[in-house]
Amino acid sequence: MLKCENITVERGDFPLCQAVDLSLSQGDICHLIGENGMGKTTFIMQLAGLIPILTGQVFWQGVEQLPVQPLYISHQVGIHLQLTVEQNLKFLLGLYGIKPTDNELADALNWVGLSGYEDIFCYQLSAGQIRRVGLARLWFGLKYVNDFSFWLLDEPLTALDVQTIDKIEKIMQDFVNQGGTVLLTSHQPVSVANRQLNLTEFMV
């Protein structure tokens, strides 16, 4: 599905890692690891198209570049605290052209344990609850697996309780069982990961 060849991970003009190679197939959940500052988030952002890849090549199913839109969830959350839970989720889904029904919104928020929070402003939530608002997108990612068959997740398990981590790992497994591919960073162990890429091995 995904093949990266000779990628340089760089922040500005400063290279962090060089000659990074990675091949992922359908069904793979790859845990991207490395010391702090090694460029894990930068690499994820490069693959998401938010930072240019200046050296190296990326192929998706043999086609150069990444012609599909990955479902990208940043560790910076991207939640507007002055908007409600429902408003934030609708906005985030709108970036992918998804217009959820009221029932879909209710089911997604129930999945992340935020049922009844639709009209609560996000500044009233805890850090973990704010994380869960953003992670509710994964419920839609599984529903639309044919449209978004590649997930890029940057620290999706941060500030979550054990039960929610179990839900996130289960939905990742369900997603790849339906033909998806996942690349994620996490400072915590990821029990469902079947692949690992250590950027420290490619440090400059």
Instruction: State pLDDT tens for residues 23-78.
Output: 999 999 999 999 888 899 999 999 998 899 989 999 988 888 776 689 999 987 78
pLDDT at residue number 1: 87
From the number of C-beta atoms within 10 Å of its C-beta (0-12, 13-18, 19+), residue 32 rates as buried
Other residues' Cβ atoms within 10 Å of the Cβ of residue 172: 23
Q: What is the pTM of this model?
A: 0.93
Which of 113, 193, 104, 189 is CA-nearest to residue 142?
A: 104
Percent over 70 (pLDDT), the chain: 99
CA 43 – CA 11 distance, rounded (Å)? 10
Which residue numbers in the chain have pLDDT < 50? none
Q: Rounded to the nearest 5°, which phi and psi values hold at 182?
A: -130, 135
Helical spans, DSSP H, in the chain: 40-47, 85-94, 102-111, 127-135, 137-143, 162-177
pLDDT at residue number 157: 93
The crossing angle, in degrees rounded to 10, of helices 85-94 and 127-135 is: 40
The residue type found at 31 is H
pLDDT at residue number 86: 97
pLDDT at residue number 173: 98
pLDDT at residue number 189: 92
